[in-house]
Amino acid sequence: MFVTRGESEFEVSIGAVDGEWEGKIVEYNLSRVVPVVHLCHNWISPDAALLGVRRRWQRLFPEELDEDMPDFHEALIEPTPPFAGVKSLIPPSPLGRGVE
């Protein structure tokens, strides 16, 4: 999800990575060549990640009222099972042992 504040655009994401939940806040600004990473942290649950992202946002924008704060649930990327419903593009081996 992207949120604009002043001249900056913030990319906020929360997603499953290696069995944990990673929250990120990255700031993009035309006056800077390199994006600024304000948060990149892992938590054990999506709820903990949502709270962590919300806390960091409050530290970045302490004057922002709660009703003006973005709904970070929109940044939540639900995990999908790996290869669910995906058919292999590699043809089966004639020897029946897979690709070697």
Beta bridge partners of 40: 24
Which amino acid, 44?
I
Terminal-residue alpha carbon distance, the chain: 41
Q: Are 46 and 21 in contact (CB under 8 A)?
A: yes
pLDDT at 9: 97
Rounded Cα gap, residues 32 and 40, in angstroms? 19
pLDDT band at 84 (very low <50, low <70, confident <90, very high): low
Comparing 92 with 24, the larger pLDDT belongs to 24
Please tell me the predicted confidence (pLDDT) of residue 90. 59
pLDDT tens per residue across span 27-59: 999 899 899 999 999 999 999 999 999 999 999
Task: Provide the pLDDT for residue 78.
Answer: 76
Report residue 15 CA to chain centroid gap.
5
Mean pLDDT of the region 75-88: 66
> For position 11, what pLDDT does the model report?
97
Rounded to two decimals, the pTM is: 0.76
